[in-house]
Structure 1
Amino acid sequence: MAAPHQPQLVFVDGSFEELAQEMAGFLNVGDDVKDLIEKKQKDEILKKLIIASPALHSIPEKEFAGAYNLLVYLILQSDNAAMFLPRVCENLTKPITSSPTNGPGLALNTLTTIFNMLKPDDELRFNVFMAILKFLKIHGMFENLKPYLKSLDDWMNDWETDSEDQRQVYEAIAEAAREVGDVYTSYQYILKALRTFDDDEIKSEDAQKIALRALKTALSSPTQYDFQDLLNVPCVQTLSDTHPVYFELLTVFAEKDLEDYNQFREEHEGFVEKEHLDLEKLQRKMRLLTFASLAARTQTREIPYDEIAEALQISPEEVELWIIDIIRAQLVEGRMSQQKKVFLVHRTTYRVFGEKQWRQVGDLVDTWRDTLNKVTATLRKEQAGLETQKKRDVEEVERKLANTSISGPGERRRIERGPDRGERSERAPRKERTEDDD
């Protein structure tokens, strides 16, 4: 698809009637539309052409794009294009028998061309976009759509779509992403779909259905560890009334630890298995979340291996493997000290940040402040000691200099002027001059 607000155009020559006659001949329905063309019954002509258009799927590959472009151009000349275009889009989801290998690519290119032939604010673009989504889902080609998702919200503003249409798009994207294994994108668009419900719709059957789907997706996702966003969605909060056990499970994953999860399973024995939730995945995710909570509330930033093993209910030999897993999950940053058998926490992610977490931060700040005060006091003491020692050293130098000056002025002059003239000084004997000196 082209960038928004830059529609691609198909240029053709000829009147509607001339082009319709050409298209009818191509589809072998020339006689059926001849009278209609003479009477200039545009919509009746288009009905005949569209009914016959599946024949385009058997024409040579090199003629496919041009023929469909002409058909779409004719449809856009009608005041009732919205009545005809969806049928053409539907046809393009069917197999192209003339090109089994390149057929999906040809059809997708044609659908994209139709999308770009329409003006940016044309509401028909919504219908074509839905057809493209359906096509991509059928053929497992969701990756072709991902680069354009960033423009989707702008497009829907241009189309002036209501909340129901927006929800339809988001659900379709979520489903297409799920089928190709893109759990992250699927989850993000389920959340977007949930947020389209008004306050008076959050308890509706559709809202509850999507909320439950979002919860199951979040629980099964190998990369989703933040459950607070989901917990704060009004539609999801109503699950506490409609699906209380599911809501309790969500609360455990959002705020609690492994011990609470095990208690939940005891109180609701068989629930996880009955709902076809992956028991092993849930257990692993709950251990990682428990590890993150343990790291967040540790004030010393050192967690002994034994404490990790106890919290995660694992053997001490498994601790380092779980440390590697939690770092890979980007829930905690740190390093292992195998010698001291502790994990040194550098950074951690808070699962919940409420009153309790603010108190923990306050305690950490108090601890850091006390430590800084002690360091400051130590530095000041050391500085005072250095200044005292420096003063003593200066006094010692001055004392030594003073002692050196006690000998008196006469001796000082002798030192400065050298030996008296009356004193003989030893000199080297004078060398006799020889002829070699000349």
Structure 2
Amino acid sequence: MQVPPVFIDIALEDQTQELRAYLKSLGAEISEERSPKGIEDDLHKIIGVCDTCFKEGNEAEVELVLNDIVSIMVLVSPERAENIILAFCEKLTKAHGQKLGEVCSKALWLLYQSLDERSPMRYPVYYHLLLIAKQTDQIKAIFQDIEQLKQQFSHCPLSNEELQKLYRLLHEVLLRSNQSEQAAKVMIELLGTYTDKTASHAREDAICCITSAIADPKTFLLDPLLSLKPVHILKGQLIHDLLNIFVSENLTAYLKFYKEHKEFVNNQGLNHEQNLRKMRLLSFMQLAETTPEISFEAIEQELHIKKEEVEAFIIEVLKTKLVSARMDQSARKVFVTSTMHRTFGRSQWQQLKDLLSSWKNNLAVVQEGMKSVTAAQVELMQQQPQAV
């Protein structure tokens, strides 16, 4: 097996010539001679055949070659590097296989980090990183959360079109990697890029956002979606009606909708059994908001479950941490301590205000009580005879 030369501490022209010679030795159709047109032309030709080393199956050698190309590329002036960077990105996204994909991802990540924070080329490099992550399930290596992503591009703001393209791909990659919660946040960010004038063009994105949120087993607060302009545009359509059911209706309403629009639900890629599970949990939350003491019989009737399934269902609810409660099997009752609200509107804000006001008043009472105790202790000490 041939070992590629170590391309360090030599002039760029010699470095490109060494790369040419190495790739030619692997069978690439490239001359060993440097291009008279300069480094940029050399890089174009090298990148055009750099995938020759992919066939060797030695990831360490591939990584060495790709990193060397990056080390030359970042020294090319920004105004002349654009086409070279794009060609490099395109070539690496065509690599096949998990290990090779990981090596290509590392090389692109090195390039991304080497570019100036204000460089507009960071966007296409990151986009191609996502394309590779889609194939190799390496999304965690390049994406942590939406806030960090925004910070990465804060010095070179992206256009709405670029953001939308990036968020769509990121959402797809996160879903494929079973990061549904992060995917939902990205989709909400995507819909937030549309204005009143452009909201009507976001129909597919809005539908995708709704179905993703409904399908996500960890997402229970869907109320914020209704305030998004692209979702509001869908009002009056079946998908908006279905969302409203998951926002504020109960299981009976969902069963009625499914009976009348079974084909529609299935065509959205939604699983009816998973929908039933989520609607039962949401319906129980709604019941717990107004009924601190719930009988097993009420749970059977409201949630359409069998008598022998009630205890298992309550345990499942408690595991989600959506509701804090105590189950009394002998009394066949559930005593609710607290529950997460399905919607957070004016009444919930008023309830929170009343709770905080009560807390403030209680603290004032405690403070006055402490003052009284302190004053009594001081008075008692003053009344005691002083030692001679």
Q: Output the TM-score relative to the length of structure 2.
A: 0.79
TM-superposed deviation, 1:347: 0.8
Aligned equivalents of 1:148, 1:190: Cα separation in 2? 13
- Superposition RMSD in Å: 3.1
| Equivalent residue number for residue 115 of structure 1 | 112
- 8 Å CA contact 2:117–2:153 kept in 1: the answer is no
1:191-270 paired onto structure 2 within 5 Å: 191-204=188-201, 207-240=202-235, 244-268=237-261, 270=263
| Equivalent residue number for residue 72 of structure 2 | 74
TM-superposed deviation, 1:274: 4.4
- 8 Å CA contact 2:70–2:110 kept in 1: the answer is no
Aligned equivalents of 1:176, 1:82: Cα separation in 2? 26
**Residue among 309, 313, 318 paired with 1:322:** 313
Note closer, same or farther for the CA distance 1:12–1:93 as it changes in structure 2 (3 Å cut).
same
1:381-420 paired onto structure 2 within 5 Å: none
| Equivalent residue number for residue 23 of structure 2 | 27
TM-superposed deviation, 1:262: 2.7
Asked if 1:87 is matched to 2:82, the reply is no
- 8 Å CA contact 2:223–2:344 kept in 1: the answer is no
- 8 Å CA contact 2:206–2:231 kept in 1: the answer is yes
Q: Deviations over 1:136-187 (max 9, x none)?
A: 1112223333447652111121222112212222221211111122222222
TM-superposed deviation, 1:228: 0.6
TM-superposed deviation, 1:17: 2.9
Aligned residues: 347
| Equivalent residue number for residue 35 of structure 2 | 36
TM-superposed deviation, 1:341: 1.8
Aligned equivalents of 2:314, 2:44: Cα separation in 1? 66
Larger radius of gyration: 1
Specify every segment of 5 or more residues in structure 1 that has no aligned partner in the other structure, as ranges: 1-10, 373-438
Specify every segment of 5 or more residues in structure 2 that has no aligned partner in the other structure, as ranges: 1-6, 363-388
What SS is found at the alignment partner of 1:203?
Answer: helix
Aligned equivalents of 1:333, 1:245: Cα separation in 2? 34
Corresponding letter in the other structure for 1:246: I
TM-superposed deviation, 1:245: 0.9
- 8 Å CA contact 1:33–1:48 kept in 2: the answer is no
Note closer, same or farther for the CA distance 1:360–1:74 as it changes in structure 2 (3 Å cut).
closer
Aligned equivalents of 2:30, 2:223: Cα separation in 1? 66
- 8 Å CA contact 1:171–1:190 kept in 2: the answer is yes
Corresponding letter in the other structure for 1:263: K
Corresponding letter in the other structure for 2:63: A
Moved over 6 A (4+): 358-365
| Equivalent residue number for residue 302 of structure 2 | 311
Note closer, same or farther for the CA distance 1:158–1:362 as it changes in structure 2 (3 Å cut).
closer
Corresponding letter in the other structure for 2:288: A
- 8 Å CA contact 1:333–1:347 kept in 2: the answer is yes
Aligned equivalents of 1:150, 1:358: Cα separation in 2? 27
Asked if 1:104 is matched to 2:97, the reply is no
Corresponding letter in the other structure for 1:339: S
Aligned equivalents of 1:356, 1:149: Cα separation in 2? 31
Calculate percent identity across the aligned residue pairs. 26
Aligned equivalents of 1:36, 1:317: Cα separation in 2? 80
Corresponding letter in the other structure for 1:20: T
Aligned equivalents of 1:157, 1:125: Cα separation in 2? 11
Q: Deviations over 1:185-204 (max 9, x none)?
A: 22221111111112211101
Corresponding letter in the other structure for 1:94: K
Corresponding letter in the other structure for 2:241: E
